[in-house]
């Protein structure tokens, strides 16, 4: 079966249903997937309602409605098919739109999953868009939301650009006119909203001597090369600079990095901009910042706000979402500071830390991922916290770097194997980022198991390459 064939089957199934329920994940990819699917379905004249779930697991299974609607699972479902089967959900009532590792069940659910066809660098929103476009060509305007989902799930991070089917979807957005690509641009975050010194100082991917992690140093650097605030203390954003100004900055960064023999490999990346968004709602002007805004809604229990923004609400929902974003940024910073101040414990093949009930389980993984570059990036980080729905459980999040995945590490597999030993645990995700819920009393044994499994993964890779 090809991805196209699965996409066609899903589109047919959706178009022939009487009503649909979209059950989607709470992060940027889940929210953009939901918005693509529910807009395409309602444009087809089919009644649709949406439910967001933090993760499809035994504690949230009751949220799936017990009715005759077609259940469309997006950004999860592939790894939870046995659970759906055990709940008695029939295959004629299910479509799964996903990009996580699949664990099929006998029920034979229709699963549209790019990973099953070898496309690793596409998110659920990309798959959702392919189905929406197959349903009707008028849905091409929704390619923009698929770009946001792909960027939210970091599908561009390894190559610093979207590739494969995610790149084709990008071309649909460019063709439609609501997406613009700035190729091979400076690899910084916050090009539409962050004052330039902050954007340069706090972009994790590049290490500029005297500038990185030092906003005062960044200000001095800019002033020295003739780039100044637009008015007292108000610095321009990257998006608003002229080509000449950008050239001056990039050349000076290269000089500074080369003088200190820094690696320039990750200096440039593609940016995806949305010319249809107003500069007043600047957070929505590019895919990375738009995705962070959606994440801040979803991960703080207001995914429907993100959904409203994806559907075009630029007043009420946007205003509320801006407050969510402010809070999200503060809390992520607090997670990172907590990790740095407390310090992580180290086993032979991983770093770990327990944050108790200080932070919600929906954000600790993001904080841990962002802390990695300040820790020992050679080892994956495992962060534990109390499960917000069931304090007898511990939520695990793991993150690592592409270089570590290249050496054979697969966090999804490691967590799933470790979960097999403990009743009531479930895990999943990707090679580079994965999560699990485990019984609280199993924490110590679980970490040691994961450490041992990762050690085996390294050994396996090196014996394979001998």
Judged by the rule CB under 6 A, the positions of this chain that interact with ligand C5P are: 25, 27, 29, 55, 57, 75-76, 79, 100, 153-154, 157, 365-366, 369, 397, 399, 426-430, 432-437
State in angstroms the smallest separation of the CB of 58 from ligand C5P.
10
In the bound state with ligand C5P, the residue whose beta carbon lies nearer, of 46 and 385, is 385
Pick between residue 17 and residue 324 the one whose CB is nearest to ligand C5P. Answer: 324
- 24 vs 38 by CB, closer to ligand C5P: 24
Q: How far is the CB of 458 from ligand C5P (least distance, A)?
A: 20
Quote the least distance from Cβ 122 to ligand C5P, whole Å.
11
Place of tokens 């709940």: 87
Token readout for 389 is 């729905």
| Cβ closest to ligand C5P, residue 83 vs residue 248 | 83
Q: What Cα–Cα distance (Å) separates residue 178 from each residue in 154, 196, 388, 464?
A: 21, 25, 39, 46
Least separation in angstroms between CB 76 and ligand C5P: 6
Nearer to ligand C5P, 196 or 396 (CB): 396
**Least separation in angstroms between CB 412 and ligand C5P:** 7
Q: Of 194 and 399, which CB lies nearer to ligand C5P in the complex structure?
A: 399
CB of 82 to ligand C5P, least distance (A): 14
281-312: burial string, b at 16+ Cβ within 10 Å, e else? bbbbbbbbbbbbbbbbbbbbebbbbbbbbbee
- In this structure, what token pair is assigned to residue 463? 């014996």
């Amino acid at each position: 079966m090809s991805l196209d064939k699965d996409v066609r089957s899903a589109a047919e199934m959706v178009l022939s249903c009487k009503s649909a329920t979209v059950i989607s994940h709470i992060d940027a990819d889940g929210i953009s997937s939901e918005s693509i699917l529910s807009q395409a379905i309602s444009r087809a004249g089919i009644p649709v309602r949406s439910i967001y779930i933090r993760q499809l697991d035994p504690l949230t299974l009751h949220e799936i409605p017990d009715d005759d609607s077609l259940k469309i699972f997006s950004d999860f479902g592939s790894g939870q098919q046995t659970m759906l089967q055990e709940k008695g959900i029939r295959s004629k009532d299910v479509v799964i739109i996903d990009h996580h590792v699949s664990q099929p069940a006998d029920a034979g659910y229709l699963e549209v999953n790019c990973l099953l066809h070898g496309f690793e660098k596409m998110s659920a929103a990309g798959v959702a868009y392919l189905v929406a476009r197959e349903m009707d060509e008028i849905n091409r305007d929704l390619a923009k939301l698929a770009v946001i989902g792909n960027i939210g799930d970091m599908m561009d991070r390894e190559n610093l650009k979207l590739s494969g089917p995610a790149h084709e979807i990008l071309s649909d957005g460019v063709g439609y006119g609501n997406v613009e690509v700035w190729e091979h641009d400076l690899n910084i975050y916050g090009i539409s909203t962050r004052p330039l010194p902050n954007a340069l100082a706090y972009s994790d991917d590049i290490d500029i001597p005297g500038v990185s992690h030092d906003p005062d140093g960044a200000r001095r650097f800019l002033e020295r090369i003739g780039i100044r605030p637009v008015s007292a203390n108000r610095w321009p954003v990257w998006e608003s600079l002229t080509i000449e100004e950008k050239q001056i900055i990039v050349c000076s960064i290269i000089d500074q990095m080369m003088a200190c023999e820094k690696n320039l490999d990750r200096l440039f990346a593609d940016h995806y901009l949305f010319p249809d968004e107003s500069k007043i709602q600047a957070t929505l002007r590019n895919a990375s910042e738009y995705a962070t805004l959606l994440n801040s809604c979803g991960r703080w229990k207001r995914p429907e706000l993100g959904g409203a923004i994806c559907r075009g609400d630029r007043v009420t929902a946007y205003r509320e979402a801006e407050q969510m974003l402010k809070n999200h940024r503060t809390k992520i910073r607090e997670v990172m500071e907590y990790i740095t101040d407390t310090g992580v414990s180290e086993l032979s093949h991983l770093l770990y830390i327990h944050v108790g009930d200080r932070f919600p389980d929906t954000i600790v993984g993001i904080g841990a991922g962002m802390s990695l570059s300040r820790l020992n990036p050679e080892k994956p980080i495992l962060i534990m916290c109390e499960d917000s729905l069931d304090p007898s459980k511990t939520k695990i999040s793991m993150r690592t770097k592409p270089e570590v995945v290249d050496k054979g590490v697969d966090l999804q597999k490691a967590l799933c194997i470790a979960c097999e030993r403990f009743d009531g645990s479930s895990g999943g995700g990707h090679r580079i980022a994965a999560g699990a819920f485990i019984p609280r009393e199993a924490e110590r044994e679980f970490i040691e198991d994961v450490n041992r499994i990762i050690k085996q993964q390294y050994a396996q890779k090196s014996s394979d390459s001998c």
